[in-house]
Amino acid sequence: MGNRLTRIYTRTGDAGTTGLADGSRLRKDALRIHLLGELDELNCHLGVLLTQPLPGPLAACLGEIQQLLFDLGGDLSIPGRRTVEDRHVQWLEQWLDHCNAQLPPLREFVLPGGNPAAAQCHLARTVCRRAERTAVAMAAGEDPGPATLAFLNRLSDLLFVVCRVLARQHGGQEVLWQPGRQAPEAALIPGPAHDRISQ
């Protein structure tokens, strides 16, 4: 296969438009371009997550999701191309069922955190939800692909469950929302730190 990128800058986007793979051009603030950027951002967050020590099968799953996000980006760059399909949604559902079976029932909302891997996965989850919202907005005027909405919806669900799995690694616990809690008193903060906060 020849080189795909022979030049990094082309100056063709200086006026605020960008080219799709079919040769057409769109404004850089078009919903299709927003969605492409959010898929790229999501993929980057997954890449950071994969630098953490993860269980091998889960790392392989996330690596395949990165590939599928590139496939979906390709579909959006070539209107009418269909690479991500219902079978990929079903694959995500299988992973959802597999991961969820390892977890106790969820009795309260989960706060982002727990450990670096879980916190990073929460970031990926929120970007996936944003991409889904953009895909919904895009679908009001043009077709983002028949499986795109379901794929992103199921992926964000899977990432939430993966957050729970990762938070519980090595005997850890999820951070749960505590409704009705009492805020800590400022007096409990050690002296020097309290002085700095008060200034």
Q: Of 93-97, 107-111, 193-197, which has the strongest mean pLDDT?
A: 93-97
189 part of a folded domain: no
The per-residue pLDDT for 1 is 42
Q: Helices (H) and strands (E) in the chain — how many of each?
A: 6, 4
The per-residue pLDDT for 106 is 85
Q: Considering its fold, how many domains does the chain have in total?
A: 1
Enumerate the β-bridge partners of residue 110.
176
pTM above 0.85, yes or no: no
Indicate whether 24 pLDDT > 80: no
CATH number of the CATH domain containing 142 = 1.20.1200.10
Which residue range forms the structural domain that includes residue 77? 18-177
pLDDT category at 93 given cuts 50, 70, 90 is: very high
pLDDT category at 162 given cuts 50, 70, 90 is: very high
The per-residue pLDDT for 174 is 83
